[in-house]
Amino acid sequence: MAIPKHRLPEWVQDWLDVIVPGSQILGILLAAYLLQRLLRRLVRKAAVRYQLPGELVVPINGLIRWTIMASALLLSLERLGVSAAVLWTAFTGFATVGAVAFFAAWSVLSNLFCALLIFTARPFRIGDHVEILDTAEKPGAKGRVVDVNLLYTTLEEFNTPPGSAWIQIPNALIFQRVVRRWSGEPPAPTPLTAEPEAQSAATKATVSPMP
């Protein structure tokens, strides 16, 4: 139940216009702090469950932190009497700049998103032997997965000396291609058999003529 203003002490009435918005701003900041801690804890649990790398968790936490801080700032400015129209204009301006930057960096962001999908959906794991194909009939890049970072998946080429050759494939490209995976090493390529005509000619050449 709210206390009538005229029943408050005079010094409280003089500072009431400062105390009320100040309390509201403190409440907004406290709620933002608690929400940020809760979301960071959820991200930490998800990172442990899905074995997400640290370089992926750090930008996610940064995005959460800056989003909550921006929201808390806008709400605090509104409590201080800033016009909602001004706040909306500022928000739409920042959103427009963010959208332009998003599309300008789309190729990088798509690789980041696909890296998250690789760590959660697990189409393959580090140590697996995979082949990235345009179609199931055509051969493609083949090797052992040695690293997956935010931008590239690195393969150590098959049938080459260890540590001699690597292939870096953008993560977004992996989700646009057919992926063949072996639980162990892929089978060695079988030598091509000779044509029947060639085999027949060779057989005839080795047969000595009848006396």
- One pLDDT digit (tens) per residue for the chain, 211 residues: 455 555 655 655 556 666 777 888 899 999 999 999 999 999 999 888 877 777 778 888 888 898 898 888 888 888 887 776 777 777 777 777 777 766 666 777 788 888 888 888 888 888 888 988 876 667 778 888 998 888 889 999 877 777 678 889 998 888 888 888 886 666 665 554 444 544 444 444 444 444 4
**Residue whose pair of structure tokens reads 């063949």 in the numeric block:** 180
- Phi–psi pair at 107, nearest 5 degrees: -60, -40
pLDDT at 198: 47
pLDDT at 194: 43
Which of the 8 DSSP states describes residue 80?
Answer: T
Residues 34, 36, 39, 45, CA torsion sign: negative
pLDDT at 14: 58
pLDDT at 207: 42
Render 153-168 in DSSP notation, one character per residue. EEEEETTS-TTS-EEE
- Measure Cα distances from 87 to 74, 97, 115 in Å: 7, 15, 35
77: nearest Cα among 31, 32, 24: 24
At residue 193, the 3 state secondary structure works out as coil
109: buried, middle or exposed (CB in 10 Å: 19+, 13-18, 0-12)?
middle
176: nearest Cα among 123, 125, 101: 123
Render 113-180 in DSSP notation, one character per residue. HHHHHHHHH-SS-TT-EEEEESSSSS--EEEEEEEE-SSEEEEEETTS-TTS-EEEEEHHHHTTSEEE
Cα gap 153→148, rounded to integer Å: 4
Q: Which residues contact 31 (CB under 8 A, 6 or more apart)?
A: 72
Cα gap 211→203, rounded to integer Å: 18
What pTM, to 2 d.p., does this model score? 0.54
pLDDT at 94: 75
pLDDT at 202: 45
Polymer length in residues for the chain:
211
pLDDT at 22: 83
Cα gap 24→32, rounded to integer Å: 12
